[in-house]
Amino acid sequence: MSAGPDVDRVVTGYLDHLTVERGLAANTIASYRRDLRRYCEYLAAAGVRGVREVAESDVAGFLAALRRGDDDHPPLSATSAARAVVAVRGLHRFALLDGLVPDDVAHEVRPPTPARRLPKAVPVESVVALIEAAGSLEGPRGLRDRALLEVLYGTGARISEAVGLAVDDLDRGQSTVRLAGKGGKERVVPVGSYALRAVEEYLVRARPALAANGRAGVRGGALFLNVRGGPLSRQSAWSILRTAAERAGLDGEISPHTLRHCFATHLLDGGADVRVVQELLGHASVTTTQVYTLVTVERLREVYATSHPRALT
């Protein structure tokens, strides 16, 4: 059987295809070129020159080499190795569709799955400091900002869900709030006493003054208002959170999802069932919620390592 065209020539044709016919960005093409050059070097070192000589074991071996590293290359992370394998898989699919090879030898070689990033959560005392910092502003804004952060931490709401709340979504008698989640799915979640108190104070002492600056009625419309009397935007809510974090000395630790992550992590730390937390967060699958259990396992491991007399050698 013919060895077919050299792999180098096929790579050149593939990159031309990506540039001209697919119109990929210059940075993407440069990234593919680097990964495929390394692939060609790996095959050449193994004595493989023609594209028809490449076997599935060669592709799998290249992936293993990426993860292992060598004298000239440091080991690649799962994310970087996956990017390189995607380039190689695209090359072999191109060769198949162009009639250069009878089979796609890379089809069964799957890119490595990147490690799941653990959600960022901060200790309870840091959350308290964050909320206190938000409420330290004088006037209606301080009352609003404190109420907003109390709601975020007390319900696990996404920022977009919190700023989308209407006054009527809060049932103070039942101590619940109705949240509109992704895909228009609604859920009713309990609201703690701290959040209820903060919202009550905001509604009585701050929201009327903010509403007077615009067209929003005091009894209807958005729960959280901006200084012009309109609904608070997601960007403004994020700015409130970031400013409070700077005041509390937590700059760099806070993201738009931080309070939601803290809500879930602190519930699980307190013994809540993961399926209950799933319902509260509005996750369609418990698998999404289970990433938070990894956080609590890490915390347990830290406590064990520092507390048990025979945990460390």
Domain segments of the chain as ranges: 7-97, 124-252
- Tell me the pTM: 0.61
Residues 9-28 have pLDDT tens digits of 999 999 999 999 888 888 88
Q: CB–CB of 277/135 below 8 Å?
A: no
Active site residues: 158, 182, 257, 260, 283, 292
CATH number at 124-252: 1.10.443.10
Residue 224 to residues 137, 174, 202, Cα–Cα distance (Å):
16, 20, 9
Predicted local distance difference test score (pLDDT) of residue 4: 67
Residues 226-255 have pLDDT tens digits of 999 999 999 999 999 999 999 999 867 788
Structure tokens at 238: 């994020």
Predicted local distance difference test score (pLDDT) of residue 285: 78
Burial class (CB in 10 A: 0-12, 13-18, 19+), 6: middle
The answer to whether domain 7-97 and domain 124-252 are alike in fold is no
Predicted local distance difference test score (pLDDT) of residue 116: 63
CA dist., res. 132 & res. 126, Å (int): 10
pLDDT, average across residues 38-64: 94
pLDDT greater than 80 at residue 308: no
Topology of domain 7-97 in CATH is DNA polymerase; domain 1 (1.10.150)
**286 vs 237, higher pLDDT:** 237
Region of poorest pLDDT, from 213-217, 223-227, 239-243 = 213-217
Q: Minimal CA–CA distance to 166: which of 227, 207, 214, 131?
A: 207
Predicted local distance difference test score (pLDDT) of residue 256: 78
Residues 158-210 have pLDDT tens digits of 999 999 999 999 998 899 999 998 777 889 999 999 999 999 999 999 999 99
Predicted local distance difference test score (pLDDT) of residue 312: 57
